Structure 1
Amino acid sequence: MIKRLLILFTFCFNLGLFAQTKTNHHHVIVIMTDGLRWQDVFRGMDPEIANNKKYHHGDSLEIFKKYWANTAEERRQKLMPFFWSTIQSKGQIHGNRDKGSMMNVSNPYWFSYPGYSELTTGQVDTAVNSNDYKPNPNTNFFEYLNTLPTYKGKVVAFGAWGAFDRILNENRSGFPVINAFDEYVSVGKDANAQLLTNMVKDTHRPFGEGEVLDVFMHYQIMHYLKKEKPLAAFLSYGDTDEFAHEGNYSYYLDGAHSFDKYVSDIWNFVQSDPEFKDNTTLLITTDHGRGEAIKSQWTSHGQKVLDSHQTWYVMLGKGVANLGEVSSKEQTYTKDLIHKVADLMRVDFKSIKK
C-alpha cells in the first residue's frame, strides 16, 4: 500500500513539475513587415492608387479582381483574411486612426534602422540615424532574454533585410541572426536546411544583395520553429517595403496578402505544437508608415513624407486580452511595444548603451 502511494505521489509530483516548467517557459515571437501602411491594413486596397497607371503597371483589372470590395471592412478582409478573422476574434489590433486608435514611431527619422532599433530596444537613440549605421550600441530585448538561464541558447532572429546583424548586433548579442543571403544551413543543419540554403543561393535577386524575397526566409523560419523550438524569435519580412519603393502597388498588396498568410502559418503551428500552444505571445507590427496625405508619396517615407510616422500593431496569444479592433481613443508608440511583451512575460528589461 505504501509503495503504491509513493508511486502515485511521484507521478503527481512529476506532473506538477512539468506544468510549472511549461508555465515558466513563456514563448515570444515578434513578427514585423517593413513599411506596411496602416491605411491598407484597416481600409484595404486604395482605389486611387490602384487606378493610377504609374502604380498598377498596366493591370488595374487584376488588382481590382483580387482586392476590391465596396466597403473598407470587405476590402481589408480580402487583403488580410487572417488578421480580420482569427486575430480580430482572438487578439487585438491597434492603429486605426479613423476610429481614434493612434500608433506612431517615436524616433524622428521615420525609416527602417531607427524603427527596428526603437522596437527591439524599447527606447529611442537619436544617434541611430541611418540605415548604414554601425552595429547597434543599444542592447535589445532578445539579447537580454539570451542572458537569462531559461532562454539562453533558445533565441533566434530571421530578417529578409541584411541589416539585422547590425540592428541586433549579432556579434555582441550572442544569438544567431539569419538575414538576407546568410547560409541557413549554419543553424538548421539537416537536409531540408541545406535545400533551403541552396534555393536562397540560386534564386534571382530582384532587390540586390541586401535583401531576400520573403518566401525563402519564411520557409527557413517554419523549419527552424518546428525543429529547434526556440523560446524567443524575432522575424522581419520585407517585400511590402521593397515593392512600395518600386511603385508597384499590385506587388505591394500581394506582399501584404502573403505576409498575412505567413503570420497564419506561424500561428497555426504555434497552436498545433504542445510546447507552444497557449504558451506563446505574438507581437506583430511594422517599422514605419508611408505617405498618404500626398497620395503620390505612398511609395516613400522619412522626415519629408507626411504621416509616414503613423503605424499599427497587433498582439495575439498568451496573456493578450481579446479586444478585437480597438476603437477607443489611445496613443501608443513603437518604443512601448516590447515593454508590453516584457510585462506579459514578467521579465525586467531595460536597454543599455554599450
Structure 2
Amino acid sequence: MKSFLSLLALLIGTTVVAQQKTRTQNIIYISVDGYRWKELFRGAEQALLTNKKYNATSVEDNLKRYWADDIKERRKLLMPFVWNFIAQHGQLYGNRDLGNNVNVRNKAWISYPGRSESITGYADPAITTNSHPDNPNDNVLEFLNKQKGFNGKVVTFASWDAVSRIVNRNRNGMLVNIPFDNLPGNNLMEAEQLASETQHYAPKIFGDGERLDANTYEMARAYILAHHPKVVYLDLADTDEYGHEGKYDEYLEAIHNIDAMIGSLWQRLQQDNFYKNNTTFIIVPDHGRGDDDQWTSHGSSIPHANDTWLLVMGPDTPVLGEVKTSQQIYQDQFAKTLAALLGFDFTSQQHPVGDAIPTVTGR
C-alpha cells in the first residue's frame, strides 16, 4: 500500500516532503537588483561620489551625507541598519577584500539569469537574456507552496514585471504582484487599498514595466500585516535603474532607502506574534556591476559584474557578523539554503540544485 501511494504521488506531480524542525517558521527573501559589493562593504566610492558626471547633487552635499575616511564608518552612513544591526545579529558574506567571495554561477551576469539562479538553485545555460519567456525550471517558492501549511502562503512583490516570468506565475498560480497589479480580493484592509491605489499616482520614471521600490515595499508590507504569509519574496530594482542611468547620488539614495525599508520591516514584524523571533531575513543581489567608469554596466563583458554578496539574519543562523574567512559561495546555493532554514530539502527532477550553505543553516 505504501509503495502504491508513493507511486501515485509521483504520478500526480506532488512534491510534499517531510519537514524537519527548525526555529525558522517564516522567510523574508529580499533581492536588490544590481547592488555592488563595493558599496555594501566599503561604503560610497570617493572617485564616483565626487565626479560631477555621475551626480546632480553637489560634491559638498554628497560628501557630507555619505563620506567618512574610515571604511567602517563610511559604510554605516550608507546602510546603518545593516551595519548597526544585521552585523551584530546575523551574517554578511561577500567582502572580497577579506577573501570572502560570493558569485553568480551563470555566465550572463544580468537580471533574469541571476534571479532565476537564486530561486531555482540552477544556473540554466539556456537563460541568457532578460526577455526569456516563462522560466521552465522548478523554483523553491513553488516547491514550498506545495508543502503542508504553506499553500497560498508564499507570495512575491516585485518592482520589475519580468519577475512574473522568472517565478512563472502562469504555471504555479501563486500571488506574484508586479507593476501595476492591484492586490486581489474584495475585503482588503484600508492599507492594502491605499497601496494599490497610490502606485498608479507615482511617476513611471523607469517606464511601464517597473514601479518605484517605495510602492512595491508599501504593497508588500500592507499585505504581510493583513494576511501573514509564511514566505515573502520582495524584489527591489531602483538600484539597477539608477546605476544604468549613471546617477551615482540616486543609486546611493536608493541603497540608503532600501536599508531603511529592511530595518523598518524587521522592527515591525518583531512586534507581530506571527513573525516575532521565528523569521529569517535573506538579502541578496542578482548580479554585480563593473568598476570605475564601468560601474553603470553589467553583463558578461564587464569584469566583476559576477561578484555578489549575501546577508542572513534569523533564529537558526549563528551570529558571525561580517564573515572574514576565505570562502567561495555561489548563488545557486541560495534556493536550497532558503528551504533548509524552513526544514525542507529542495530538489528537482528537472535540474541539479546547488548545496545549502551550512554556516547559514547551522547544520
Output the TM-score relative to the length of structure 2. Answer: 0.88
Aligned to 1:39: 38
**Of 320, 338, 342, the match for 2:339:** 342
| Larger helix proportion of the pair | 1
Aligned to 1:154: 153
Larger CA deviation: 337-346 vs 327-336: 337-346
Q: Determine if the alignment matches structure 1 residue 322 to structure 2 residue 319.
A: yes
Which structure would you say has the larger Rg? 1
Matches within 5 A, 1:177-256: 177-186=176-185, 189-256=188-255
Find the aligned partners of 2:228 and 2:193 in 1 and give their Cα distance.
Answer: 19
Matches within 5 A, 1:38-77: 38-57=37-56, 59-77=58-76
Deviations 1:274-309 (A, max 9, x none): 1111111111110000001xx100001001111000
Answer yes or no: is the 8 Å Cα contact 1:23–1:279 preserved in 2: no
Amino acid at match of 2:195: L
Report how far residue 34 of structure 1 moved: 0.3
**Alignment CA distance shift 1:213-1:207 (3 Å):** same
After the TM superposition, which segments of 4 or more aligned residues of structure 1 sit over 4 Å from their partners? Answer: 22-25, 185-188
Aligned to 2:15: none
Matches within 5 A, 1:224-303: 224-292=223-291, 295-303=292-300
Find the aligned partners of 2:229 and 2:196 in 1 and give their Cα distance.
Answer: 20
Answer yes or no: is the 8 Å Cα contact 1:160–1:211 preserved in 2: yes
Find the aligned partners of 1:138 and 1:207 in 2 and give their Cα distance.
Answer: 28
Find the aligned partners of 2:104 and 2:277 in 1 and give their Cα distance.
Answer: 30
**Alignment CA distance shift 1:246-1:187 (3 Å):** farther
Amino acid at match of 1:153: G
Deviations 1:50-99 (A, max 9, x none): 11111012522221111010111111000000000110000000000001
Find the aligned partners of 1:91 and 1:58 in 2 and give their Cα distance.
Answer: 34
Report how far residue 343 of structure 1 moved: 2.0
Find the aligned partners of 1:320 and 1:116 in 2 and give their Cα distance.
Answer: 23
Answer yes or no: is the 8 Å Cα contact 2:50–2:62 preserved in 1: no
Find the aligned partners of 1:329 and 1:272 in 2 and give their Cα distance.
Answer: 37
**Alignment CA distance shift 1:333-1:350 (3 Å):** same
Report how far residue 202 of structure 1 moved: 2.1
Aligned to 1:3: none
Unmatched runs of 5 consecutive residues or more in structure 2: 1-20, 352-363
**Alignment CA distance shift 1:152-1:104 (3 Å):** same
Task: Give the number of equivalent residue pairs.
Answer: 333
**Alignment CA distance shift 1:66-1:25 (3 Å):** closer
Unmatched runs of 5 consecutive residues or more in structure 1: 1-21
Q: Give secondary structure in 1 for the equivalent of 2:303.
A: coil
Amino acid at match of 1:310: D
**Alignment CA distance shift 1:329-1:137 (3 Å):** same
Report how far residue 41 of structure 1 moved: 0.2
Aligned to 2:357: none
Q: Determine if the alignment matches structure 1 residue 142 to structure 2 residue 123.
A: no
Find the aligned partners of 2:348 and 2:73 in 1 and give their Cα distance.
Answer: 41
**Alignment CA distance shift 1:187-1:251 (3 Å):** farther
Aligned alpha-carbon RMSD (Å): 1.9
Answer yes or no: is the 8 Å Cα contact 2:22–2:341 preserved in 1: no
Q: Give secondary structure in 1 for the equivalent of 2:328.
A: strand
Larger CA deviation: 261-270 vs 92-101: 261-270
Q: Percentage identity across aligned positions? A: 39
Find the aligned partners of 2:60 and 2:219 in 1 and give their Cα distance.
Answer: 34
Larger CA deviation: 180-189 vs 58-67: 180-189
Aligned to 1:312: 309
Report how far residue 127 of structure 1 moved: 0.7
Amino acid at match of 2:340: D
Find the aligned partners of 2:186 and 2:126 in 1 and give their Cα distance.
Answer: 32
Find the aligned partners of 2:349 and 2:93 in 1 and give their Cα distance.
Answer: 28
Report how far residue 189 of structure 1 moved: 2.2
Answer yes or no: is the 8 Å Cα contact 2:24–2:316 preserved in 1: no
Output the TM-score relative to the length of structure 1. Answer: 0.90
Find the aligned partners of 2:340 and 2:192 in 1 and give their Cα distance.
Answer: 35
